[in-house]
Structure 1
Amino acid sequence: MKAKVEESISYIRNLIGDFNPEIAIILGSGLGELAEEFKNKTKIKTEKIPNYPQPTVEGHAGNLVFGELNDVRVLGFQGRIHFYESGEIENVIYPVLVANELGVKILIVTNAAGGLNKNFKPGDLMVIADHINFMFLNPLLIFPQNLKRMNHPAYDDRLKKIAIETGIELGISIREGIYCGVRGPNYETPAEVEMLRKIGCDAVGMSTVPEVITANFLGMRVLGISCITNYAAGISKNKLSHEEVTAVASKVKNEFSLLIKEVIKKIKQIGI
């Protein structure tokens, strides 16, 4: 794995030179347009990067975008890799390993998620307070030496506070809740949704958890934001579809972009 990542980094460095991103953003389904707002950007197709796994799901373009956002050097991942696409956990966490090798210290991970909390509605943005790993996968098993236990919150408390306060200031419908990660690729049954609600989950999706575990292991500080794109099965009578997910994400992309840009601005001002 290390040799593969180093080969990827060598290719990337030939294109970006000594540009060192401070913050990386993994952009979930329908949320990738934020990277188009980067200034002085360099876009690299992931299919050109040696060893880099390819996203196959609609709404995940497959680009690494380097640039500046509110005078902060950033790396945007337009597209993520879900476990169900390949069945290889190494593919899922590969973007985090690349970001780490490039010197990234803060990871903002976003996703499109189904709403379990009946007080939430499609279009809400939810700051992830914590997660429940119902993927039953742990990427740390691929690191054979020097394993560390997570002895701090998975999601950074200061970053959560900044995101929530910023959302309120901007008048955005901002929530905070527990994200449950499942393997997919099927949507949850009504019975599964009811079970997840009873154990305290506010949103459910098919990503994020492995990336966050890996980022914590590597010493990054993490902020997680879910876009609630639909009510989960049993809460809504409508048939669930990926088209609905991407459509709702597209509708809130302006609020999402504004929130992320202002959060990054505050991170720089405070000097986290």
Structure 2
Amino acid sequence: MSVNVVQFVLIVLLAGFRAADQYSTQLFPFQHALMCWLVGIILGDPNTGLVVGGTIQLMSMGAAGLGGSSAPDYGMAGMVATVLACVTGSSDISVGLAVGVAVAMLYVQLDVIFKIYNSWVFKVIRGYCVKREYSKMLASFFLSHVYLFLQGALPMALVLAFGQGAIDSVLAIMPEWFTTGLSVAAGILPVTGFAMLLTFMPVNKFYAFLIVGYVLSAYLGLTVLPVALLGGAAAVEYFRLKSSEGAAPAVATSTANGGELEDE
């Protein structure tokens, strides 16, 4: 499959908009599955977009740039992986994910450059504010948006322009053991994302629920939706139980105090 001019332009614009949206409008922040699905629609293969997007969404669940730190751009990784999977026509998305994750790691460096660049933009805006040139101050805000758009659009344009030939050449020289390893890694990465997410949760306190969920999924073969519904029901009952336990001592204390007053 080849990418025509209209598809090229639409995907590049979508990549640029997604990058700028994360720091500005935030209409679709961290909606990697949605963006990959849109890329799949543009390329005529929305199913592949959903598969890649769902995988990337799981990989990124425990990763976030907190406190000003820079994190890999898994959204870009998913879009690149979707493009490569659709262009090569392969049912195995591991190669696309491997290249996409490499592009996501490159984003860490680009994000550091953006934050340095943004400090200069802040000085420009402050200078216009001191001079009371408010129209220029307002216009200067968009300097950051321009960089963010290019930060997303340019890598995608390079992948679309040179990716197919480069990927075909790489696939031709890749040994079978290496592609098998990529397939295994693609299966491990979502689990790694879940493991990172669990580090932020009170696992030691609620490990029994994890065991129940594992049994339901691994041994009974339930999918995510029924397990989530059972987990939601258990959470509601647990909340009700804890709420009633917290209210009972208060009633008992009030009764005890009343008894003391009567004795007096």
Give the TM-score normalised by structure 2.
Answer: 0.28
Q: Which structure has the higher relative contact order (CA within 8 Å, separation 6+)?
A: 1
Give the TM-score normalised by structure 1.
Answer: 0.28
User: If each structure's strand is expressed as a fraction of its own residues, which one has the higher value?
Assistant: 1
User: If each structure's helix is expressed as a fraction of its own residues, which one has the higher value?
Assistant: 2
